Amino acid sequence: MKYDYIVVGFGIAGMAITFQLKREGKKVLVIDGTQAKASHVAAGMYNPVILKRFSLAWRGGELLKSAKIFYNDLAVFLQQQTTLDVPVYRKFHDVEEQNNWFSAIDKPALSPYLSPYLKTTTSSAIKAPFKYGEVMQTGRVLVKEIFEKFKQILSEDNAFVCEDIDYNTVEVGLEEVEINGHKASKVIFCEGHNMSKNPFFNYLPLGTNRGAYYVFKSSSLKLEVAVKSHYFLLPLGNDIYKFGATYQNHIQIRDGADPNYEKAILKTQLEQLIDCDYEIIDFVTGVRPTVKDRRPLVGEHPEYKNLIVFNGLGTRGVTQAPDASRRLSNYLEHGDSLHEEIDINRFADMFYQT
């Protein structure tokens, strides 16, 4: 059987572009490898504000609007809820941070998202003498539930296979591509950090950030909002919480990651934030693909026009994927131009140098 598209990888990028193409009525096969995906363990928070320095993320408002439309449409397709409204409270550590918050509110681009009213309480287990600032229009994408339901739908349609890619099997012709014995007019690689093994796109400057989380249970924390201190503390329901994530780039973990080091950092930060009993029930890690300019990698291979890449969504993947996948779908199906800031043509010199 020949498909219109083969999508390699079913993280947030692969899921988003698969949905966009299916809405175009295209026949899509998803090939997903056996390795764990960072998207599948991500907190899934959408938030347009960089809370470390109270600034608007790249195209923050525009991407947030696009994401909300996308996940509403996805909810209709999956016939289940895809997001939850979750307020985000930024814990202030001193008066200077309070002052910086109010200075940020005066900026027109930020004022729709930063509340001018300080919040005083979240949980009795968290001490916040300098109070909190509330970020508005925030929430959580139900990542695990989305992937499970979407995979089920694809599997029932014989459009999902779980197998690792053997790049030696890739045959690129003028009219079709064959990969692992499957044929399609075009192949879209959404492989996350595994792109470094892809001989067609490994010239692109993709780095990695490893993130680690604790999942814990506490019946006395009683927290209903997400709290951002050094790390995020996120309620998952039923007295279950996620705390993290640590960040180590590919240079920092060149000799291999040390889970004990990550656990020690998380434990120290968690106990500095909360003062109550808790029980660790899981420790999860993931490796996110990142680009130095913090822009996605989207576009055609410089020589093989039926090989496409969609990668580099970074830590804001659930917010960036909807807009970038829409632009890629419109480029492939309607001939629209790609946004120059996400187009891999910005790195064309690196291809020809190799």
Q: Strand 28-32 vs strand 2-8: parallel, antiparallel, or unpaired?
A: parallel
Q: What is the pTM of this model?
A: 0.93
Q: How far apart, in whole angstroms, are the C-alpha atoms of residue 201 and residue 190?
A: 11
Exposed e or buried b per residue across 8-47, where buried means at least 16 C-beta atoms within 10 angstroms of its C-beta: bbbbbbbbbbbbbbbeeebbbbbbbbeeebbbbbbbbbbb
pLDDT at 236: 93
Which band of pLDDT confidence, cut at 50, 70 and 90, is reported for residue 39? Answer: low
pLDDT tens-digit readout, 263-302: 999 999 999 999 999 999 999 988 888 898 999 999 999 9
Question: In the predicted model, what is the mean pLDDT of residues 250-263?
Answer: 70
The letter for the amino acid at 28 is V
Q: Is the Cβ–Cβ distance between 14 and 190 less than 8 Å? A: yes
pLDDT at 54: 94
pLDDT tens-digit readout, 99-129: 999 999 999 999 999 999 999 988 999 999 9
Topology annotation, domain 2-42+144-205+293-353: FAD/NAD(P)-binding domain (3.50.50)
pLDDT tens-digit readout, 188-207: 999 998 999 999 999 999 98
Task: State how far the alpha carbon of 169 is from the alpha carbons of 3, 164, 177, 180, in Å.
Answer: 17, 11, 10, 6
Residue 294 region by backbone torsions, left for phi larger than 0, else alpha for psi between -120 and 50, else beta: left
pLDDT at 252: 52
pLDDT at 255: 57
Topology annotation, domain 87-137+206-290: D-Amino Acid Oxidase; Chain A, domain 2 (3.30.9)
**Packing angle of the helix pair 317-334, 12-23 (nearest 10 deg):** 40
Residue 175: half-sphere exposure toward Cβ, Cα within 13 Å: 1
Taking 60 as the threshold, does the pLDDT of residue 170 lie above it?
yes
So where are the chain's domains? 2-42+144-205+293-353, 87-137+206-290
